[in-house]
Amino acid sequence: MNPIILYTITKKYFSVSMFSLLAQKPHRLGGADGSKTDKLRAYDSLSSNFLKLLLSIRCPLLFFCLLIFCQVRGQSDRNSAMQSLGIGDTIPNLLWNMPLQIIDHQHENEAITLNDYRDKKVIVLDFWNTWCGSCITGIKHSGELSSELKSHIAIIPITEQRRDEIEKFKSQNSTIKNTTLNLVTDGKNIARYFPHELVPHVVFIKNSKVVHIGGYESLSEQNIQMILANEEDKLLYVKNDKAIQKSLLESIDTNSRLMYTIVGSYRKDILPSEIKMIDTLKSYSQLSLFNFSIKELLEYAFKLPSISTNRFNLMKTRLTIGDISYHKSMGDKIVWLSKNALCFEERVPSKISDLEFRSTVLTELSRYLNVDISFGPSKVKVYEIIRNSKSNNPPKEGKYIQLYYLIDAYNRLPNHIPILDNEQISKKVYVPKRTLSDLNSEELIGLIKESGCQLIATEARINTIKITDR
């Protein structure tokens, strides 16, 4: 074979392995990291000497064995560098020392590495982007957590967006402007180690291993304390963006024309979600409702908009409002979901109508809970709102809201007696603007009365969902 051809082929394959080696072990001439020029100079020297050795080999079989070894080694190095990490995996040295470009709020540094935080008990990588509202809220919360637990944890927000995008966004957003956390930008390389489809995507590293992956809900002091105490297995939510693609019946051959309906309890690997798929080849439709409350399942079954919890008639059932619907007064939502949420999935012939689809939800939920469920008018106790005064001063812009919002906030609470406003009085009366989500039912009733309106206890026939034990 022509020596020039041999040289060209060998250099093509050998360069993969040699350059990968140099990338992992910087040349001493370049200092701690090695400059790009030094690495290339070292590469040319090493490759030239090795190629001379290869060309001096007279045995074609030995030559091609070495050639194949170089090709396989190079491919192995690339695969190793790009390997994604999951819970239980060890952080490779290449990742520990990967330079991460930052917008530093404390120093003039332009880059950090994970190795800078190796003295912390837990390192948290919070992947985010500028169009994710919960991500921004999470960064604010992370800053507070970092201040409280700074001796134990380091929280590093990471975005794949460019530095100039984040600098511009920072000038417009007070949370990003005021955070004391180092914001990593241009983070595509580190993101490849932790592939995800949804943000926030939060990775917890402890003792050089990935110990937990979660979302915004995972960034709580309670969860971090559990991780510090080696109790991460007790966490109620593990983020897995691929889980939504899995059927509840993974163990069954779903490639066959299988029709089924199943009701199950909470799944910790997925957030509340509704998925509907249609397979035209196999002529079936599939509906999956993951981690829904009983109230949400019934709203779907009866095709209702969001219905107030005080429209549930629970006089003849063991179930309580706290069993069928969540409210923030009940504590942590993930804890509540883990105890009360249900999953429903059905696969039926595609010719089935939407009404039949929803009817199946109701039938199977009734069977699962061992109750009878109906929707229709019932005579119940209510408060009817009347107006004491006809006067109505025009509201001052931005400082007043309609009384309607107070009544709506009250009816969303787990109360027993609903407020009716058949004459739409609440949309004609204005009250001072305030934060309603922190008020209880007694406080809201007090504000309604202060507005010049009166609540009269009476009875009325209104549509309710009636649940009765079998």
Task: State which of 341, 369, 397 marks the end of a domain.
Answer: 369
**97 and 224: one domain?**
yes
Quickly tell me which residue has 């001439």 as its tokens: 29
Domain count, the chain: 4
Q: Once rounded to an integer, what is the mean pLDDT over residues 52-70?
A: 55
State which residues form the domain around 61: 3-81
Round to whole Å and give the CA distance between 273 and 289. Answer: 6
Across the chain, mean pLDDT equals 82
**143 and 192: one domain?**
yes
Domain-located, residue 303: yes
Element spanning 336, H or E? helix 333-340
Length in residues, the chain: 470
Which of residues 144 and 398 earns the better pLDDT score? 144
How do residues 12-25 score in pLDDT, each as one tens digit?
Answer: 444 433 333 333 33
**359 and 433: one domain?**
no
Task: State which of 339, 369, 399 marks the end of a domain.
Answer: 369
Q: What share of the chain is helix, strand, coil (3-state, %, to 5)?
A: 40, 25, 35
Round to whole Å and give the CA distance between 189 and 187. Answer: 6
User: Using 50, 70 and 90 to split pLDDT, how confident is the model at 58?
Assistant: low
> Considering only 203-207, 245-249, 318-322, 402-406, which range has the smallest mean pLDDT?
245-249
Radius of gyration of the chain (CA): 31
Query: Which whole-number Å values give the CA distances from 261 to 344, 355, 368, in the listed order?
Result: 8, 16, 12
> Strand pairing of 209-214 and 122-127?
unpaired
Domain-located, residue 86: no
Q: Once rounded to an integer, what is the mean pLDDT over residues 236-252?
A: 75
pLDDT score, position 282: 81
Task: State which of 369, 401, 426 marks the end of a domain.
Answer: 369
Closest CA to 417 of 437, 439, 444, 438: 444
Q: 277 pairs with which residues across the strands?
A: 286
| Residues whose CB falls within 8 Å of the CB of residue 104, separated by 6 or more in sequence, listed in order | 110, 112, 182
Cβ contact 100:112 at 8 Å = yes
Domain-located, residue 240: no
**413 and 306: one domain?**
no
Question: What distance, in Å, lies between the first and last C-alpha atoms of the chain?
Answer: 88
Cβ contact 27:38 at 8 Å = yes
We report the CATH number of the domain holding residue 97 as 3.40.30.10
**99 and 220: one domain?**
yes
User: Using 50, 70 and 90 to split pLDDT, how confident is the model at 414?
Assistant: confident
How do residues 130-185 score in pLDDT, each as one tens digit?
Answer: 999 999 999 999 999 999 998 999 999 999 999 999 999 999 999 999 999 999 99
**98 and 173: one domain?**
yes
Domain-located, residue 88: no
Cβ contact 381:311 at 8 Å = no
Domain-located, residue 332: yes
**138 and 165: one domain?**
yes
How do residues 437-455 score in pLDDT, each as one tens digit?
Answer: 888 889 999 998 888 899 9
pLDDT score, position 35: 42
Q: Once rounded to an integer, what is the mean pLDDT over residues 46-66?
A: 54
CA atoms within 13 A on the CB side of 168: 6
**77 and 169: one domain?**
no
Q: Once rounded to an integer, what is the mean pLDDT over residues 342-359?
A: 90
Domain-located, residue 334: yes
Q: Once rounded to an integer, what is the mean pLDDT over residues 367-395?
A: 85
How do residues 74-87 score in pLDDT, each as one tens digit?
Answer: 544 444 456 899 99
**224 and 252: one domain?**
no
Cβ contact 247:278 at 8 Å = no
**393 and 411: one domain?**
yes
Distance of CA 449 to the CA centre of its chain: 41
**119 and 228: one domain?**
yes
Domain-located, residue 208: yes
**350 and 401: one domain?**
no
Task: Quote the percentage of the chain above a pLDDT of 90.
Answer: 53
Closest CA to 246 of 213, 288, 282, 206: 288
pLDDT score, position 108: 63
pTM, rounded to two decimals: 0.65
Q: Determine how many CB atoms are found less than 10 A away from the CB of residue 204.
A: 23
52: pLDDT strictly greater than 80? no
Three-class SS state of 444: helix
Domain-located, residue 47: yes
